[in-house]
C-alpha cells in the first residue's frame, strides 16, 4: 500500500467542498455565490495540479 500524499488529499477534499458549495449556491439562487465558488474551485484545482507537478519533479510520486 502506498503512502498517503496529504497535500494532494487536502486539495481533493477542498475541491469537493467547492463543488458542493456550488450546488448550495445554486439552490439559494445566488449568482455571486456561484461565481465565487467556481473561482475558488479553479484556484484549488490549480494549486493541486501545481503541487503534484512539483512533487513529481522531486521524485516523491
For position 60, what pLDDT does the model report?
83
Count other Cβ atoms within 10 Å, centred on residue 18: 19
For position 2, what pLDDT does the model report?
79
DSSP 37-50: HHHHHHHHHHHHHH
For residues 6 and 14, give the distance between their C-alpha atoms in angstroms, rounded to a whole number. Answer: 12
Helices 6-27, 31-58: crossing angle, 10 deg rounding: 170
Rounded mean pLDDT of the chain? Answer: 94
- Who's near 34: CB < 8 A, 6+ residues apart? 22, 25, 26
pLDDT in tens, 33-46: 999 999 999 999 99
For position 3, what pLDDT does the model report?
87
Amino acid at each position: 500500500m502506498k503512502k498517503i500524499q496529504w497535500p494532494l488529499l487536502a486539495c481533493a477534499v477542498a475541491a469537493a467542498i467547492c463543488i458542493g458549495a456550488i450546488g448550495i449556491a445554486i439552490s439559494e439562487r445566488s449568482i455571486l455565490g456561484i461565481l465565487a465558488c467556481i473561482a475558488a474551485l479553479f484556484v484549488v484545482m490549480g494549486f493541486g495540479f501545481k503541487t503534484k507537478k512539483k512533487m513529481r519533479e522531486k521524485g516523491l510520486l
